Structure 1
Amino acid sequence: MLHRRRRQEHAQCLLSNGAIVCAAGEHPDEDTLFAGSPDALAAVVYAYLPLADAEAAGSLRISGDGTLARRFVDLFSLPTPAPKQIASSDFGKVGIGKD
């Protein structure tokens, strides 16, 4: 059971058998607690800010199972962004523009 607390709003996520279910509410027996703003958690999850850096900055506090916290964050990694622009000279290379 993972739990995130923001001000007085609570959300809990249960990881079980390869599935994740999240709902509003508080669970007294969480294994890991993330306390901080949604932006702080998003910086860790999507901007690859290390958990330790977020904790050191005071933007996110994690209590409980640290290994589980890292595993939870890793569930949401984003793919590498596509290039912003493809030059016309690149068409035909590496499958670009090929049928």
Structure 2
Amino acid sequence: MLFKAGKARDGYFTNENILAHAEKAMDILSRDYANEDHVFVFDNATTHLKRADDALSARKMPKGQSKTWGVTVAIKDVTGKPIMDAKGKQVKECIRMTDG
């Protein structure tokens, strides 16, 4: 599996991608190395902050009242890939956070 992370590429691993990748690797190991012990180690520190794009977030809250309060999220196409502008930057929009 070849995965090119970053802007204007394949995006970034989601939890679903990590699970699918691990399941595929486990199938290969079970088939080709059934008599061996295997250990998988993942550094998923960036997924610790994962939540719905519009979820309430203390990190995104303003100190005082704000008329433009929201969270900025990447706009994605129907396949889930981020949409890029002509300069290769992700197109984003500000959306209202869901209620707590």
Q: Please report the TM-score for the alignment, with normalisation by the length of structure 1.
A: 0.23
Q: Which has the higher contact order (CA 8 A, sep 6+)?
A: 2
